């Protein structure tokens, strides 16, 4: 099995070398030109994971691995790093950040592992930007809020009891309602942002990934809405031609079908 993996890796690296030499499209790619494609491939992998499509996961992992190999080839051509450097740097990082496996530090729970992880990252990189400096700027807002909450919690800034977060959620709801009555749109947007941030932290404290939770609800809404449209069309109608009561009846039918 190990030989098979090593042979596949060597084959992939050689294919990349050939494409970079002989394919006009591959020859003209740069770090910058590949960036948007890399982001797209990451989301396609996320879709496959959400659908628990194991064949799709395998395919999308391959597409993402291609980008890792491609960036490594570009780094090699610039004399900065190659695939071996990338892999070895990752191994060194994993060993350093798992002292409870490779050293004499004890961590018996996932929470203790995460706390050690964040502390070691800060100590290793000596970030002038502090605890939140490692959160990528380009992350989607929902994911970024979750990661910032995680990192702040790792530094000890968190609710002492997870149930206390609901006081914050209720406070933010009240502030949204107050701004709705005031009619100040900019302030209303800010208060909605505060409410979303509080809800993301509530999800984190209760062990729920808000991105996955919202994606699940999005998919559920899409299934039910499509059901409404299809069954309305079967009767010769569009949704615009139905009353709210008729649409609600179809919505309830869709729920029962799940």
pLDDT of residue 124: 63
pLDDT of residue 224: 96
Separation CA 121–CA 193 (nearest Å) = 29
Separation CA 121–CA 91 (nearest Å) = 15
172 contacts 195 by C-beta, under 8 angstroms: yes
Separation CA 194–CA 200 (nearest Å) = 10
Cα three-residue angle 17-38-2, rounded to 5 degrees: 55
Token readout for 27 is 């020859």
Which residue stretches of the chain have pLDDT < 70?
Answer: 1-2, 122-129
Superfamily for domain range 2-84? MazG-like (1.10.287.1080)
Give the pTM: 0.65
Token readout for 126 is 């000596």
Separation CA 63–CA 57 (nearest Å) = 10
Cα three-residue angle 62-142-248, rounded to 5 degrees: 100
Cα three-residue angle 209-166-161, rounded to 5 degrees: 85
pLDDT of residue 122: 67
158 contacts 152 by C-beta, under 8 angstroms: yes
φ, ψ for residue 28 (rounded to 5)? Answer: -90, 0
Q: How many CA atoms lie within 13 A of 92 on its CB side?
A: 7
Q: What letter would DSSP give residue 157? A: -
pLDDT of residue 112: 80
Token readout for 46 is 């996320």
Which of 7-37 are b and which e, b meaning 16 or more Cβ less than 10 Å from the residue's Cβ?
A: eeeeebbeebeebbeeeeeeeebeeeebeee
Of the candidates 168, 183, 117, the one whose C-alpha atom is nearest the C-alpha of residue 147 is 117
27 contacts 20 by C-beta, under 8 angstroms: yes
Q: What letter would DSSP give residue 244? A: H
pLDDT of residue 108: 80
pLDDT of residue 258: 83
pLDDT of residue 125: 57
């Amino acid at each position: 099995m190990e030989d098979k993996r090593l042979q596949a890796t060597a084959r992939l690296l050689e294919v990349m070398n050939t494409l970079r030499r002989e394919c006009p499209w591959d020859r003209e790619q740069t770090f910058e030109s590949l960036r948007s494609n890399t982001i797209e491939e990451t989301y396609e992998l996320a879709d496959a994971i959400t659908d628990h499509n194991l064949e799709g996961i395998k395919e999308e992992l391959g597409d993402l691995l291609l980008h890792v190999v491609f960036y490594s080839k570009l780094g090699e051509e610039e004399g900065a790093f190659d695939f071996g450097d990338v892999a070895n740097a990752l191994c060194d990082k994993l060993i350093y950040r798992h002292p409870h496996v490779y050293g004499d530090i004890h961590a018996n729970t996932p929470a203790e592992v995460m706390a050690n992880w964040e502390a070691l990252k800060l100590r290793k990189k000596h970030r002038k930007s502090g605890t939140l400096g490692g959160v990528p700027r380009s992350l989607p807002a929902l994911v970024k809020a979750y990661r910032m909450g995680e990192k702040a919690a790792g530094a000890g800034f968190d609710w002492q009891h997870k149930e206390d977060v609901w006081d914050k959620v209720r406070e933010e709801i009240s502030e949204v309602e107050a701004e709705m009555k005031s009619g100040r749109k900019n302030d209303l947007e800010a208060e909605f942002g505060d409410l979303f941030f509080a809800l993301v932290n509530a999800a984190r404290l209760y062990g729920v990934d808000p991105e996955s939770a919202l994606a699940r609800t999005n998919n559920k809404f899409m299934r039910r809405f499509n059901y409404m449209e299809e069954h309305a069309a079967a009767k010769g109608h569009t949704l615009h031609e139905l009353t709210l009561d008729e649409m609600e009846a179809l919505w309830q039918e869709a729920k029962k079908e799940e």
